Amino acid sequence: MKKQNIFGILIILVLFTGCTQTEFSPISSDKLLGDSLIATTTIAQVQAKYMTLNDLYTDTLGKKAGLFTCDLIPKDSADAIINGMITSSDVEGNIYKYITIQETKPGGMAIKISIDAGSLSGVYPLGQKVSIRLNGLYIGRYAQAAQVGTHYINLDKFKVDTLHKVNIYRIEPGRIPFPIASKAIHAYGLPNPNAVKADTMTIADIKAAGMSVVNKLVCIKNAFFTGKGADYGLPATIIKDADYIFAPSTNGIGYPQSREIQDGTGSIFIATSEYAKFATYKLPGSNNRGNITSIVGWYNDKDAVLSTTKIYYQLTIRSVSDLGKGFESYHTEINK
């Protein structure tokens, strides 16, 4: 009886197996990690709707300098969802605890997302498509440059209101805790670094674009390093031969070091962290002229009325491989 039962079970299993579908239509690579969320807004619309100029810390008339601000994107409002692609990479250490997202549509903008976690490229690699639900997060300005983060009170930066005898602390976008960021950021499809395309712009183009180009990935052609650094937003001669590198030590202070580049249309700075893997690489000589790809940054923490001579833009290269065509001899030299 037991043998008959076993044979019966085997026959049933064979019949079920014969009916089971073993061939499926292949899933396209862009669907392997799900699909995008439906975008309900754009970066430009989010900035226009939610970002204010309210800046109690900066000592200006009306407290509307807009150098350091932080404004809530309400949870209970309609979904504020943006779509874009990761253009940043922290593998070489020059980008730390943030990612940049760029809209892929023509004329799209980019935004910086500040996240309290390192090695973010392991989670959000270059070329990864993402949807971000911004509700419950904050958007504001850090040194006038827009970014998404949390509400942060900088207790190290304050001014004393002598009339009311209180301290006025600087309020700015802080880093989003990773568990919160991972809920807000929805990655979909497989990362494709080759899909990341930089907009070709001259330095004059970048300056003419104003704040709309901040956080975007751009390629400047026929660019070269002048051998100068920066002093309060103005080009300055590098005095020591030992400092003729991307980023000399700041003795732990941690501010990025600026190096001037030109392309025949203007002057701008590339900023590098002393913690970048290429920080101590010698600067390319001015005879090396070619394509420089970088993320456009901006830093203005003092001037409520913009100076016409200072350079507020700070470009960030992700690695020395962002020095492209025209820098072949430089790469050969540093790789010896």
Give tens-digit pLDDT for 18-38: 444 445 455 455 555 678 899
The pLDDT score that the predictor gives to residue 32 is 57
303-327 per-position pLDDT tens digit: 999 999 999 999 999 999 999 999 9
Mean pLDDT of the 238-257 span: 93
Q: Is the pLDDT of residue 1 over 60?
A: no
Contacts of 103 (CB under 8 A, 6+ apart): 42, 43, 82, 83, 84, 109, 110
Q: pLDDT > 70: what percent of the chain?
A: 90
> What does the pLDDT average to over 246-265?
94
Q: What is the pLDDT of residue 20?
A: 43
Cα–Cα distance measured from residue 249 to residue 235, given in angstroms and rounded to the nearest whole number = 19
Largest Cα span, the chain: 98
Could you report the per-residue pLDDT of 145-171, keeping only the tens digit for each?
A: 999 999 999 999 999 999 889 999 999
* Residue range 199-334, CATH number: 2.40.50.140
Q: Where in the chain is the domain with CATH 2.40.50.140?
A: 199-334
Over residues 235-263, mean pLDDT? 95
Predicted pLDDT of residue 317: 98
Quote the pLDDT of residue 35.
83
Query: 265 pLDDT exceeds 70?
Result: yes
Q: Check residue 16 and give its pLDDT.
A: 45
The percentage of residues in the chain with a pLDDT greater than 90, rounded to a whole number, is 84
Q: How confident is the model at residue 249 (pLDDT cuts 50, 70, 90)?
A: very high
Residue 100 has pLDDT above 80, yes or no: yes
Q: Rounded to two decimals, what is the model's pTM? A: 0.89
If pLDDT is split at 50, 70 and 90, which confidence band does 61 have?
Answer: confident
* Interval 76-99 mean pLDDT: 97
**pLDDT at 18 (0 to 100):** 46
